[in-house]
Amino acid sequence: MVRASICAGIIATAVFSALAEDVVEIKAEQHHDGRGGLMLKIRTNGGEWRDAAGRDRVFTHSNLGNWGEKNLLDPVLFHDEDGTWHVYYKDRPEGGKDCHAVSWGPDNLTDWGRQNWVDNDLDRARLKKAREGSGIWRLTKTQVEKLGKSEWHPGCPWHFTLDSAKDDEQRYGEAVRAAKPGLRLKFSKKPAYPISRNLIGIFFEDINSSHEVYSTNHVGTYKGHGFRKDIGEALAALKPRFVRFPGGCIVHARDFKSMYHWKETVGPLSERKGKPNFNWGGFQDFALGYYEYFQLCEDIGADALPILPAGVTCPNPQIAMTDAELEQLVADTLDLVEFANGDPKKSKWAKLRADMGHPKPFGLKYIGLGNEEDVNDYFERGFTRIYKAVREKYPKIKIVGTAGPSCGGRDYEEGWRLAKRLKVDIVDEHYYVGPGWYYGNQLFYDDYDRKGPKVYAGEYAAHKEGRVNDMETALALAIHLTNLERNGDIVEMSSYAPLFAKKGAIRWSPDLIYFTDGEVELTTDYWVQWLFGNYGGEKYVPHDLEIVLPDGSAGRKARTAEGSPRMGALGPDDSQRFYNRFSSSVVRRGKTTIVKLVNSTAFAMPFAADLSPLGVTASRKAEVWELAGDFADRMARPVRSEATVGPSVRRTLPPYSVTLLVLPPK
């Protein structure tokens, strides 16, 4: 899982709404939980202080450079004229020395960098000025605008999200009703291009205990192989193309001994000793091990993506392996390929697989190395050594690297730099962010290097206040998945995280599936994954989704206000943000065409399309799926219907909805 971190688009969210105010002030203070973390507060015109980072986020040791949480005392904020922000704080256990974390600048809101001691005259002068001003900083209009429009990835500005229909009405209602906009698909002359069929997968993070989802007596289980029948059916229904296991942080743990060693999880159950789970608590009994994970993949028709240690421990603090330990990790990684794919007559690990009941190879295609590590010299040493060993012996195995715990910053940049230098096949990116991130970053992958490594969006979810699954999170993820499909030539794989949580023993929220001893609860986020998993494509059909006004003017999705129509009282910037609440994808699977439309506004939107460029020349029956509900609806489910569709299509997209039109061959 992602360690406590901040994707600072949320900061921009809080500040942006204050652009029209006369006086905006921001400060840093200790978080109210008493653990020593920092939080940012903001107020306008002398009003009440509120959470500037959004959702009560806190900066802890995890994203301030691996220091003890209770060391962060007496924080003050300083803003340079060049746009760089610094949080200074006192580290009392180190004798009262003052130190600071180099925080963020106008072009990188995410990376807080690493801590440095205040050891020069310039830093001391800044610290003195900050303390004299009580650490409260007034922002000029230019500074607020600069922060509000900051970008951490070229061309991908941060945008706000609206949390309720009421906010929609207040901000946009009058202008939208006056402008009477509609949506229109306009197909490009560019040809359809191949996209990854492995786009939708599932990610196992560690569960509390194997027996919660797996039965060793295999009675009444899914395909007789141990998984609870209802859970196995829920997973299979997603039509996942791959399964990532056994999890994330559990893989590298806190030292070599506590790492997840796959060899401890195979063989007779009586010989699997188990051990404590130092990442999530509890005890790992290993009744559900690598053999059972491979078996599940085979049962649901998915590729296996096992994750193995990359030569360092879980960060906070990150520890490198000794040469002997690293050699063992290299051997274990190579032996896993033999266990999965080897000939029982030539390999003892393949023979073990056969003795367990599976003489045929599992057909392993992928191996993941590492998960959310700090990408430093220790990581590079371990990862490179294991990577080269696998590449040399098994050149056809695709290797998945890592780009740290967040969607930007030092580890992200260094992870990609290392991956490109080594020519790693796929890079694992993680982002647990608010719904607004998905609205504002729809062009996130458009500018990625098509000649470099592919992308695995390995852990993502929409985290809103209360960390719940509802239509707001579902719509944000639907928008994200339409954009992953458009970039399916560079995005090889993706998986929502985490997968499971047992009610009464939840350690992380939100999850895709909740369950009790007797029931399975499928969330709104699950149903979005279900729609995209069951109606994925092999090719993407280029097109634009336009907002069209009655006078015929049309606006398209753009990085800036350029291309957006004015709508009543809304200016270009506002109309572009309103436009980002819509998204679309058109894919082909064989001779079937699937049109996906997302309307995350509070307004019913007229929709029109000329489907003749898709070869639709006569009316035909189409399958229609619609997932709709209020923003706070946690029980929304997709509803199937049929409609007669001809070359000219006109529909009304309900407020807060995902609509699929499945067009069969002639």
Catalytic residue ranges:
372
DSSP of 622-636? EEEEEEE--TT-SS-
Contacts of 409 (CB under 8 A, 6+ apart): 108, 110, 111, 112, 152
End-to-end CA distance of the chain: 46
- What is the gyration radius of the CA atoms in the chain, in angstroms? 26
Q: Is the separation of the CB atoms in 544 and 186 below 8 Å? A: yes
Any idea how long the chain is?
Answer: 666
Looking at beta carbons, which pairs linking 566-575 to residues 24 or more positions away fall under 8 Å? 566/179, 567/175, 567/176, 567/178, 567/179, 567/181, 568/174, 568/175, 568/176, 568/177, 568/178, 568/179, 569/174, 569/175, 569/178, 570/172, 570/175, 570/176, 570/179, 574/171, 574/172, 574/175, 575/547
Tell me if residue 242 falls in helix, strand or coil.
strand
Tell me if residue 2 falls in helix, strand or coil.
coil
Q: Is the separation of the CB atoms in 543 and 187 below 8 Å? A: yes
| Alpha helices for 91-164 (secondary structure H) | 121-132, 141-148
Alpha carbons 383 and 406: distance in angstroms, whole number: 19
299, containing H or E segment: helix 290-300
- Distinct helix (H) and strand (E) counts, the chain: 15, 33
Tell me if residue 63 falls in helix, strand or coil.
helix
Q: What is the 3-state secondary structure (H, E, C) of 417-470?
A: HHHHHHCCCEEEEEEEECHHHHHHCCCCCCCCCCCCCEEEEEEEEECCCCCCCC
Cis status of the peptide bond prior to 664, with omega within 30 of 0: no
Q: Please, how many CA atoms are within 13 Å of residue 278, restricted to the half-sphere of its CB?
A: 15
DSSP strand pairing (539-540 vs 582-589): antiparallel
The neighbour count for residue 626, using CB atoms within 10 Å, is: 19
DSSP strand pairing (97-102 vs 85-91): antiparallel
Both structure tokens of 449: 């290097």
Letter for the amino acid at 457?
A: A
Q: Is the separation of the CB atoms in 400 and 425 below 8 Å? A: yes
DSSP strand pairing (24-30 vs 275-276): unpaired
Letter for the amino acid at 498?
A: P
